[in-house]
Structure 1
Amino acid sequence: MIKHKFFQNKKIWIVPVMELIIGCILIVLLLNYVSRNDMRNKKEKANANAMTYSERIAEDINSGITITNCMKQIIISEDGRCDKFSKIAQNLMDDSIQSIQLAPNGIVTEIYPERGNEAGKINLLSDRSRGAYVHYGKKHDVIVFQGPFGLKQGGKGIAVRNPVYIARNGKKEFWGFTIAIIRVPDIFSNSMKALENFGYQCRLLKTTAPWSRKYVDVYHSEENLTQPVSNQFTIAGNTWKLQVMPEKGWGNKRMLLFLLCGGSIVLLLLIGLTVAVMVLEERRKYLRVLTEMDSLTRIYNRNGFDRKIDQLIADRADMHFVIAELDIDNFKSINDMYGHAAGDQALKSLVADLQKHFPKNAVIARNGGDEFCLLLPNQTCESIHDKFKEFTRSEKKFYHKGEVHSFTISLGYAQYPQQAKNYDVLMHCADAALYEVKLRGKQGCAAYKDGFRQIRKQLGFGFMDVSKNLLGAFLIYKADPDDDELLFANHEMLHLCGCKDMDEFFAYTKQKFCNLINKQEQTEVEESIWKQINANGGQENDYVKFSLVRKDGTQVTVFDHGRIVENIYYGRVFYVLLLNEKQIHLHYDKKSECHI
């Protein structure tokens, strides 16, 4: 009987011991899994942040390159001269730029601001520390970075040197360099501070030269980084590397200790571990959603869009579809006039219109800023054209302080696989078509054609930039004697008519060119215009003088110089430049007096 009781007690101990052994094994396995899973999630998040902020840092640094490109375009357009260097450089300066320089034939002759930077006027080609870089840039016609190096004014800087070649007599001749000295880390300080505010230590490195594999520190957090994740990106031939790691390291000792203590009760341990695994799994999925969704509009971002297309092509390589790129015309003006909150409202409104107008199987994504991507399965450029045309012409609006404001969009699209069998090439085609719409006056759509040039980054300005800086009032209206609908007016035209914006201008003119002309003169002026135009088969310019009626009823005498142009959407239109007679006499009289 005693023996039996002992045996029974022995069985009782065996079960708890077995449970303890199994529990310990489960705890060890679980702790190892949780540790690895947590580290993997942290590294996925760190990788996503490294990729995101690498792009932002590249954009920050490219702002310095943009300055040299602006100066380069001016020098090329003026055949090697830059008569207003100081004024232009002053407009391009910001807090992260130490100086802007010109170096014709490799010799620095112009520096802005000159004060404190006089020592920079040197012959770069023969300089011991700079010669190798500038010779490389000259030989390969590429932008070269040099630095970081100490600045006499304090801090560190990186020199961005952009070689300039001018076409003369059918040959490219070396002119020299446009140079910007950017302050580091000032130029990308916002990106670095954002990473540190998110709890990361970071380090930014770059190759010492385009031909070198050796890296040099550009920025470094106070603490040393242990096993950081790294993302490489290239700017103008230099390889940059952004390394990040959590400030508190990859491990989470508190969580492991908590799980270890909870393991003393096997049942609660199993339940707790199950919940923990589920939470960690959901967290991993949530992090994946964050990397693929746009937080403002709640649609896919570019990463999510790319993944959907890759999946679509992998599942059905033989299918056809259309990809479109679109953006809001003059979106910067909306932000400047009404604030970024209004700009966000415009973006959300556009997304709602996209979701309402296109089928449910359409994939919509925000490419960044005010640019969006659209994928339409089982469509062709021909089948979707009318839908795109209807969408771009329909009214788009947002609300600001209780008032409704309208905006327009431009859209370009291309078809897979007819126009490109590679996804990246297809996106470039859609982007080229979008930019073609921009060049032709915005608010419209266009399918990609072989004749379109992909020059978005090289051009640097568009129709709106040119028109708003013309030396006079400029407008466009239909070249039809029976329908002289106004289509566009630049800022000078609005100012001349006493209007604050295009809506007000269209309202008071009823969007008719003839309503700008004094009623007593309308018939005579219009007959004169068409008589001149028709004098040589409709190819002549017109020159007329009339009294322009302003919004407040006052009148001003203007000279009208018009020309007929063919437009892809509106057919024949008039491009008209109006000059104020009073201003012409005022300025020419002054010049005549000075000459005498």
Structure 2
Amino acid sequence: MKKKTLVPLIIFLLGICLVGLIVYKTDTHEKNQRHILAQLNATTYGERIKNEIADGIGITDTLEQILISENGEIHQFETIAGNLMSDSIESVQLAPNGVVTDIYPAEGNEAGKIDLLHDKDRKEISCYARDNHATITQGPFELKQGGYGIAVRNPVYLKDKSGQEYFWGFTIVILRVPDIFSDTVSALSNFGYEYKILKTDIPWSDTYKVVYQSDGQIDHPVSYAFTVGDGTWKLEVTPKTGWRNNTLLIIISGMFLTISLLLSVLTRVWLIAKEHKNKYKILARTDSLTNIYNRYGFDELAEKIISKNPQTHFVAALLDIDDFKFINDIYGHSYGDKALKSLADSMKAFFPSDALLGRNGGDEFCILLPNCTFKEADKQLQQFTKLPKTFSYHGKELAFYISLGYAEYPTFAASPSQLMRCADAALYEIKLHGKNGCMAYRKGLQSGVRKQLGFALKDISEHLPGAFIIYRADKEDDELFYANHEFLHMTGYKSMDELFRLTQKRFRNLIRQDEQQQIETNIWEQIDTGNENDYIHFHLRKADGTYLSVLDHGRIVESQQYGKVFYVLFMDWEDMHLRYSDKFSE
């Protein structure tokens, strides 16, 4: 119970830790991506703002060029200025000697005619522009017409007749805010950003003044600085939803927490219903028991390898375990699986890494050796066939043996399928010659359908006309191995498991207690004197605790797995007495 609670809890806690790590990594990644994207947008739209202001500066440059070409005079100023106007420009001005004299449009801008070099609000920055030949921007300031504006003042210098440069005055453009940035701020807003446009209050200062900003709060913004004239501008942006993608984090957290909880629940269910779980199938080309290729995977890969190298020599081998059905019947399928896995592991350890290994099914395996001829493979395959092979049974290492047939491509086969048929024919031939050996294919061997040469123990035992058992012939430690259906029926045991449980797998526990010593003595006296086991009469224990009078006839044989074992046939004494009393009396 503790394990069934603790394991799911550990899985859930590990899941929470994993969720935390995933959320942290996702949050960090998202913030980095948002910072990168925001920085890219800040740079892009900062440059756009710079270009939009540069358009205004371009107007002052146009007026400057006209002044230079016309020796300080502009004829038809209103016509020229009107052509230069746009929706984001409030006015175009001329300021000879720093005094604004010409303004377009004149209506509503009469108050703009001021002496820039002596006005208290404009004097310092205007003189800086004049003395440093610097185009400057000033503002934002409130316009008389409503809204805000930024003044762009471009100092103009002309040359007198002697070639000396002198200050003519300023060409000026008043830009409307935020009209001049309308496309930029609209785009930033549509992309989901809060923004702030700033500029240095005066060229020689590092103090920034807000030119225009959105209504939302700006936290930890990224910024892009750029220069307009002698002033520094800066665009700051931050996502309206913040740098953290809370929606994504909530979805990920919820999803992975749900998965963790589900895994914990499924783990608990799996632990409770462990005996009933289904085995998962793995890759279609791999045998799940031995972790080598299955028949489909082997055939497919062998076809590809040979087709790519049709002139190369290959050796294909087929092998199987001798008397594998006997292993399954005597020890059970789980130990048969151990033998299969042991054989596959020995194949992987023995053959080179470029060898293709597969399991055809049952106890039959296949091997493809590339760049190899019959002569090169013969010693290797003979050596592998003779290599000791074992599987573990209750702490004991039990030996088993294999038969192997092999053939060479393209010597005896023109295709992979024909090559395998030739190897199968060689394997069939070695089976006919007593198994536990290795044989190469040669002409004349039949490669047709292989016949069944033997019978499984279960097939024989269940159809014999009599009850029998098999047990280890050991005076001190006998052990029951097998009982056929006829024996179980005669003695009332439901299954071999029940027989093994009630007798503790001991043959002596099948003999009535008062007869045990005498019967065992009789059996071993016959064996020790070299006689075959004769008929013996005793009382056989049934499943319900009663006893059945029987006559047994046994024979001791040598087994590769167990040494000496008894095969014992039983007959009902009373039944025989009734059936054959007349014959016995004669």
| TM category, shorter | 0.3 to 0.5
Give the alignment's TM-score, normalised by structure 1: 0.43
Which gives a bigger RCO, structure 1 or 2 (Cα 8 Å, sep 6+)? 2
Give the alignment's TM-score, normalised by structure 2: 0.44
